[in-house]
A and B are shown apart, each in its own frame.
Chain A
Amino acid sequence: MGTLVEIAAYPDTNRVRTAVAEAYERMEAIEAATDHREEDSVLAALRRGERVTLSGDLRAAFASAMMIARESSGAFDPTMGKVVSLWGFDMDTPRLPLEQELRNSLKTVGFEKVTLAGSIIKADSPVWLDLGGVAKGYAVDEAVKVLKEQGASAGIVNAGGDLKAFGKKPGGKRWRIGVQAPDDHQELAGVLEITNGAVATSGDYERYFETGGKRYHHILDPGTGYPARSGLRSVTIVAFDCLLADALSTAIFVMGPEKGLELLKGRDGVHAVLVLETGEVLTTGGVGSEVGFERR
């Protein structure tokens, strides 16, 4: 299955239409560069312990992922590839791993074990990178760059709910972005209004499976290897970059509301909408002022 990508850009000129096609191509190239599933990919070579040089896109996505990993003290960790693979969420074949399997896989996790020297990744043991937490956001950001460079004055790139909008819509209105309510795809937790910015959500309702009467979702805690249980159902982040919004939403979901909101302090232009397990909706200070928000 694929992620549905929608791009709208203005004005409706031949040049901008061409830019939309180029933006799609740019996203495809990033998807190919950051894919870890193909055995002949750079990331596959990395997990075999081979010395690899990262290309431009891969390097950029990896460097950003490492930055968020450091800032979140590992709540977001791009070295979770083996654990993610064990759960099968990356191949859409989820299963509950055995305890021993999980313990073994967790030994490969740890962003601090990996360093980037120029374009070369250095590590003492094979690295299982999973850039899924940043690749989509990065691709959205790059697509917007293409649109702007080609003369689009306004537009939106939406990759399965991770999106970035810029400029004002025809008519001068702000972009209206719904925040899905957990459990019911026909309900909203609220509606955000933005002019320039990105929105990304991590929720426990998007990908999950049930076995033995328990529900297991796809947002894994790098500390335990199990789905994060932090009291949150979803985290929506508004930021200037979609990559940042994407990664922060995952990190905060893992950290929980208290530590998560602490992580956002001092970050200008970054706002959050948190839906708790209790159904309560928490928002940071800028939501409702810097960023429009209607509660539902």
Chain B
Amino acid sequence: MKQFKVLGSGCAKCVKTAEMLERISQELGVPVTVAKETNVEVIMGYGVMSTPAVVLDEVLVHSGSIPNRDQIETWLK
């Protein structure tokens, strides 16, 4: 099962990013877990400077904006 983490301070965009990940994975029938990470120390650990950022199975795959649908579908493959 793929494990997503959305990094961000809990701003509106981070919430939306997590929602999109959940919705699109459900649509495609891919089982995932989506967790939100708001701890600034942990976020720093991933070397992220612009949020929201997305970590997939402990690898940083995106940062700085709400990902678009195409990107999310690629991660789910």
Partners in one complex: no
Q: Which residues of A contact B (CB under 8 A)?
A: none
